[in-house]
Amino acid sequence: MQASTDKVLQERYVQIEHVNMSFVTKKGTFEALRDVNFSIKEGEFISIIGHSGCGKSTVLNLIAGLLNPTDGHLFCNGREIAGPGPERAVVFQNHSLLPWLTCSENVGLAVDRVFGKTESKAQCAERTKATLELVGLSHAAEKRPNEISGGMKQRVGIARALAMEPKVLLLDEPFGALDALTRANLQDELMRIMARSGATAVMVTHDVDEAVLLSDKIVMMTNGPAATIGEILSVDLPKPRKRLELAENAEYNHLRAEVLKFLYERHAKKAA
């Protein structure tokens, strides 16, 4: 019985059930989401994609516990999400590093928050060091944010989230403000990091290629208001994935075309 229960939890590690989300504005009530339903397996990488204003970040914030749904329920590992928790860490597009602290100190803040009461200072310091090694920033541990590049700052933000040892990593367009080459390098880095950490990931993105490259599933959302799930596409490409090889891969190009078709044809018809 226990094994059966554990398997169900693994298959539905994160659950979004009949979620509606409305906001009260000066112009009246705005219905952002209507009847959103999907589940995420433990260890999966999910991308949420859609046009601007379709509620992608709202879904992410609901999973993070930063918002409470107007109706419906969200669960993580069998427990209802009722607010933020250390098992769910968020990486925003803006890295939000404290400029007067070093990279190590910025990551150390998250470590102290989660483990400071149960582990010694030496153990916390070791956690911080190991996480910076994981994202390839050991050499920049004592540098401050103004001394490193935009891509490195974003890696510190990812390290800060991973240092909490979250079960679910939530990424809100983490590479959206970076140039194309830095973005590609960090996508490759994220694939490596996620393979090593084994965490479940949910990422909001506008980038079709990024979604297909990184994801196990792509959740495609319809236009708002009252946005919902239009289609969920499984990405069964083998891992580890190498972008240069995928460029000539027929299945990769088919999946990419399916996402584009939804965004610019089926999506538009549904909105109309």
Backbone φ, ψ for residue 263 (5° rounding):
-65, -35
Give yes or no for residue 268 having a pLDDT over 60.
Answer: no
**151 Cα distance to chain centroid:** 17
Amino acid letter, 65: G
Rg (alpha carbons) of the chain, rounded to whole number: 19
Rounded CA separation 267/272 (Å): 9
Rounded CA separation 178/64 (Å): 24
Q: What is the pLDDT of residues 44-69, one digit of tens each?
A: 999 999 998 889 999 999 999 999 99
Among the listed ranges 26-35, 158-167, 250-259, which one has the minimum average pLDDT value? Answer: 158-167
Of 181 and 4, the structure prediction assigns the larger pLDDT to: 181
Give Cβ neighbours of residue 79 (< 8 Å, ≥ 6 apart).
none
Give yes or no for residue 247 having a pLDDT over 80.
Answer: yes
CA nearest 12: which of 248, 197, 184, 200?
Answer: 200
pTM: 0.88
Q: Which long-range contacts (CB under 8 A, 24 or more apart) does 177-180 make?
A: 177/93, 177/94, 177/150, 178/150, 178/151, 178/154, 179/150
Percent pLDDT > 70 in the chain is 94
Backbone φ, ψ for residue 207 (5° rounding):
-95, 115
Give yes or no for residue 70 having a pLDDT over 90.
Answer: yes
The pLDDT mean for the chain works out to 89
Of 115 and 176, the structure prediction assigns the larger pLDDT to: 115
**Residues 182-211: what's their mean pLDDT?**
89
Q: Which fold has domain 2-87+168-185+199-271?
A: Rossmann fold (3.40.50)
pLDDT value for 230: 93
Range(s) of the chain covered by CATH 3.40.50.300: 2-87+168-185+199-271
Helix H or strand E segment including 79: strand 79-80
Rounded CA separation 72/68 (Å): 9
pLDDT value for 250: 94
Give yes or no for residue 10 having a pLDDT over 80.
Answer: no
pLDDT value for 8: 61
CA distances 105 to 80, 114, 146, 203, 243, Å, are: 32, 14, 14, 26, 34
DSSP label at residue 175:
T
**Residues 165-179: what's their mean pLDDT?**
87
Q: Which long-range contacts (CB under 8 A, 24 or more apart) does 191-197 make?
A: 191/239, 191/240, 191/241, 192/240, 193/134, 193/135, 193/158, 193/162, 194/45, 194/169, 195/239, 195/240, 196/134, 197/134, 197/162, 197/169
pLDDT value for 5: 58
Helix (H, G, I), strand (E, B) or coil at 194: helix
Percent pLDDT > 90 in the chain is 59
Binned at pLDDT 50, 70 and 90, residue 265 comes out as confident
